[in-house]
Amino acid sequence: MLDLVNITKRYGTVKVLDGVSLSVAAGETVALVGESGSGKSTLLHLIAALDAPDAGLIQVNHIEITGMGERARAEYRRQDVALIFQQFNLIPSLDIAANIAFQARLAGRYDADWCAALAERLGLTEMLSRYPEQVSGGQAQRIAVARALAARPKLLLADEPTGNLDEATGDAVLAAMQELVEETGSTLLMVTHSTRLAPRLSRIVSLRAGRLSE
């Protein structure tokens, strides 16, 4: 469902990605590991079409996103892909319920029952009428997970989604996320530094010196 072919990306003179290829089947859950600065976030941004590679192809469900115009890219970002960022990017002026519903509404797939179920499973029910400034970092992270899953994305890209959580909470959030990803039939690509969490996914790929290995 996701195919990367020979992706190259440089920032100035630094080649961050140097011929990265990867094929991920629908429903797989993949851990993306690698040292700090190895290009993991860069790779997620390229797959989310937030940035473009210098060379190479990215296909999602056999549709090439690298050659798309701006409108098609925006439609792809709205409909097919969801990103959980390291900094959550919650919308300060919206309450938690509206934050969770946000991407699903944009995609035209808002489902109140599913949003309520996500809030319940991620332990957010008590805080739906609060605002982002009134929740903790760990809660904000769980809200970002709920928001990403609310739209039932085909492809879920997560940048260290449990990085701010203590071990027990991180484990619980990952377990809930995996169950929900399976229920929605999404494909998950998750950056993690955790050698404890990575093996829980179906596959681990490692980025090093611009190259990817299994």
Ligand X SMILES: Nc1ncnc2c1ncn2[C@@H]1O[C@H](COP(=O)(O)OP(=O)(O)OP(=O)(O)O)[C@@H](O)[C@H]1O
- Binding track, positions 2-31, relative to ligand X; x by CB under 6 A: ---------x----x---------------
Cα distances (Å, whole numbers) of residue 127 to 87, 120, 123, 134, 144: 19, 11, 9, 9, 14
Closest distance to ligand X from the beta carbon of 193 (Å): 7
Helical ranges in 62-127 per DSSP H: 70-79, 96-107, 112-121
Q: Does 53 bind ligand X (CB under 6 A)?
A: no
Structure tokens at 13: 């003179």
Given a contact cutoff of 8 angstroms between Cβ atoms, the answer to whether 28 and 79 are in contact is no
Q: Which two tokens stand for residue 105?
A: 């509404």
209 binds ligand X (CB under 6 A): no
Complex with ligand X: residue 153 or 210, whichever CB lies closer = 210
Q: Judged by CB under 6 A, does residue 87 bind ligand X?
A: no
CB of 118 to ligand X, least distance (A): 26
d(CA 147, CA 145): 5
DSSP states of 111-161: -HHHHHHHHHHTT-GGGTTS-GGGS-HHHHHHHHHHHHHHT--SEEEEEST
- Tell me if 38 contacts ligand X by CB under 6 A: yes
Check binding of 77 to ligand X (CB under 6 A): no
How many residues at the interface with ligand X, by CB under 6 A?
A: 10
Q: Does 42 bind ligand X (CB under 6 A)?
A: yes
Q: Measured from the CB of residue 137, what is the shortest distance to ligand X in angstroms?
A: 17
Q: Which amino acid is at 75?
A: E
Beta carbon nearer to ligand X, 39 or 161: 39
Nearer to ligand X, 37 or 185 (CB): 37
Of 36 and 213, nearer to ligand X (C-beta) is 36
Q: Report the sign of the C-alpha dihedral through residues 79, 145, 157, 23, in that order.
A: negative
Which residues contribute to the site for ligand X (CB under 6 A)?
A: 11, 16, 34, 36-42
